[in-house]
């Protein structure tokens, strides 16, 4: 990691990986040419792939679109892209996608005084107690929010 003199609060992590084609093979992984070895080839691995950073289990990861402002306190804005991992554990305090009343909805999962609550992150909305509710299930765990500026 490299510290920048002119901006001490920023850190350079490394360079972004090349765009990958459908099979997950870097486009620039060159066929071996006669004569010269390609020194850059070994370095492809060491670049940073944003997709791999956000998606640890591709098989169980889905992208959803947030709609509304009830999770604004958790940094989820209207129109944001949500990275949802269905293989992650639904634990206290996690932001989850819950299926409730036939809708997929974003909430913080909370346990409090033996109750299970779905908590919005906006004072204009109130908690939903799901302790005794039927037909509510946790669809997945939100692991990243992609917000375009």
Partner 1 sequence: MQTHSTQPRFFLIDCNNFFASCERVFRPDLANQPIVVLSNNDGCVVARSREAKALGIPMGEAEFKLRPLLERYKVHVFSSNFSLYAAISQRVIASIESLVGDVEQYSIDECFVRLSPALAANALDTARAIVQRVQQWVGIPVSVGIAASRTLAKIACHLAKSYCSGIFFLNGTEDQHDKLFAKIPVQEVWGIGRRLAKRLYEADIHSVKDLKYADTDWVRRNLSVTTLNTVLELRGIPCIEDISAPAKARKTIICSRSFGEKIYEKETLAHALTAFVSRAAVRLRKNQLLAQGLGINIASSRFSDQYTNKAWQTLLPRPTMDTQILLQTAISGLETIFQAGVPYARAGVLLYELSPSTTRQGYLLDLEALDHDLRREQLMHTIDSINSRYGRSQIRFALEGTADEAWQMKQERRSQNYLGDWESLAIAHCKN
Measured CA distances, 44 to 9, 22, 29 (Å): 28, 17, 7
Query: Is residue 3 annotated as part of the catalytic site, yes or no?
Result: no
Q: Is 70 in the site for partner 1 (CB under 8 A)?
A: yes
Q: How many residues bind partner 1 (CB under 8 A)?
A: 37
Q: Which of residues 20-59 bind partner 1 (CB under 8 A)?
A: 57-59
Nearest alpha carbon to residue 116 among 127, 126, 129, 97:
129
Query: Is residue 112 annotated as part of the catalytic site, yes or no?
Result: no
Tokens representing residue 84 in the block:
């949802």
The least CB distance from residue 129 to partner 1, in Å, is: 13
CB 26 within 8 A of CB 17: yes
Kindly list the residues in this chain that would bind partner 1 in the complex (CB under 8 A).
Answer: 57-60, 62-72, 76, 78, 81-82, 84, 86-87, 97, 99-100, 102-106, 120, 125, 128, 135, 137, 139, 142
């Amino acid at each position: 990691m490299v510290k920048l003199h002119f901006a001490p609060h920023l850190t350079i992590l490394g360079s972004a990986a090349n765009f990958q084609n459908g099979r997950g093979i870097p486009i620039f992984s060159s066929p071996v040419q006669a004569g010269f070895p390609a020194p850059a080839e070994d370095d492809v691995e060491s670049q940073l792939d944003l997709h791999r950073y956000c998606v640890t289990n591709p098989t169980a990861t889905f992208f959803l679109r947030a709609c509304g402002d009830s999770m604004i306190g958790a940094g989820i804005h209207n129109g944001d892209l949500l990275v949802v991992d269905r293989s992650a554990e639904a634990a206290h305090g996690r932001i989850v996608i819950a299926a409730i009343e036939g809708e997929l909805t974003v909430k913080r999962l909370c346990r409090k005084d033996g109750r299970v609550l779905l908590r919005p992150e906006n004072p204009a909305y109130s908690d939903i107690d799901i302790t005794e509710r039927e037909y509510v299930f946790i669809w997945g765990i939100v692991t990243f929010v992609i917000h375009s500026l």
